[in-house]
């Protein structure tokens, strides 16, 4: 199975590029399943039903979010009824939505997508390690499902790496999101799990993590009120990762970064 995970979309620049490119990427790389992180897609803060529908229409099979999932309050009335939209699994019981789901492809192969949120330098929430343990106790890779993909939305590289090793051999891939900066450590861990610390963002990199650099710099150099952060509107870069798995074992055969457009060095699988 070939799974394409597209990193955090920031604002219109990233959103337009992703919607435009998904059909080409599916065709050119023989992609079976597309996951998109959309938590900053709505002007840099959260996601809306309209944006979700646009991403699904473009060819996204699942959308994950993160700590900005509730920034657009309208999503509270949408997420419970949309199984293709996920929020972090390790949120408290009773939180709307779901953090894991099983998706069936047209050929009846099944893929699990799960998202957890980190705790280092972020909100104090439930343990992401134990939350995933509970999921994996009920879902066996290579027998019940052909692939398990985990997005770890976290700040600290150490926490991301620790989760990768914790899940090695039990899931197809662990890929990090949240920092909006792509890392260069794509690898297959000793137990066969594909790993990447952070996939990076889809947005204008002539910015501060996707936001207009002038306002961001003012916030860091002054003690005065500043304007609200706004997404940068220049040419966007699409950052993603392509993971190929073995259907029999569910483990990774390859994991390759993909970057196209904008300012960053182009990288294709």
**CB contact set of 130 (below 8 Å; sequence gap of 6+):** none
| Catalytic position from the list 68, 153, 178, 180 | 68
68 an active-site residue? yes
SS (H, E, C) the chain: CEEEEECEEEHHHHHHHHHHHHHHHHHHCCCCEEEEECCECCCCCCCCHHHHHHHHHHCCCEEECCCCCCCCHHHHHCHHHCCCECCCCCCCCCCCCCCEEEEECCCCCEEEEEEEECCCCCCCCCCHHHHHHHHHHHCCECCCECEEEEEEECCCHHHHHHHHHHHCCCCCEEEEECCCCCCCCCEECCCCCEEECCCCEEECCCCECCECHHHHHHHHHCCCCCCCCCECCCCCEEEEEEEEECCCCCCEEEEEEEEECCCCCCECC
What residues are annotated to the active site?
A: 68
């Amino acid at each position: 199975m070939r799974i394409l995970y597209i990193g955090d979309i920031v604002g219109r620049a990233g959103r337009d590029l992703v919607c435009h490119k998904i059909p080409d990427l599916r065709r050119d790389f023989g992609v079976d399943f597309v996951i998109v992180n959309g938590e900053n897609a709505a002007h840099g803060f959260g996601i809306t039903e309209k944006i979700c529908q646009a991403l699904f229409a473009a060819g996204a099979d699942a959308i994950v979010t993160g700590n900005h999932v509730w920034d657009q309050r309208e999503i509270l009335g949408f997420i419970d009824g949309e199984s293709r939209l996920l929020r972090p699994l390790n949120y408290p019981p009773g939180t709307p939505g779901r953090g894991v789901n099983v998706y069936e492809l047209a050929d009846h192969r099944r893929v699990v997508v799960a998202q957890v949120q980190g705790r280092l330098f972020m909100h104090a929430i439930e343990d992401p390690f134990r939350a995933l343990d509970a999921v994996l106790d009920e879902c066996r890779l290579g027998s019940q499902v052909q692939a398990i993909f985990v997005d770890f939305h976290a700040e600290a590289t150490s926490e991301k790496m620790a989760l990768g090793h914790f899940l090695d051999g039990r899931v197809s891939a662990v890929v990090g999101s949240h920092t909006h900066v792509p890392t260069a450590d794509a690898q297959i861990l000793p137990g066969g799990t594909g790993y990447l610390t952070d996939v990076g963002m889809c947005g204008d990199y002539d910015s501060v993590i996707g936001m207009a650099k002038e306002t961001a710099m003012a916030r860091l150099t002054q003690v005065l009120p500043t304007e609200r952060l706004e997404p940068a509107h220049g040419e966007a870069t699409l950052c993603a990762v392509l993971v190929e798995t073995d259907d029999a074992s569910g483990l990774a055969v390859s994991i390759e970064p993909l970057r196209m457009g904008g300012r960053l060095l182009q990288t294709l699988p």
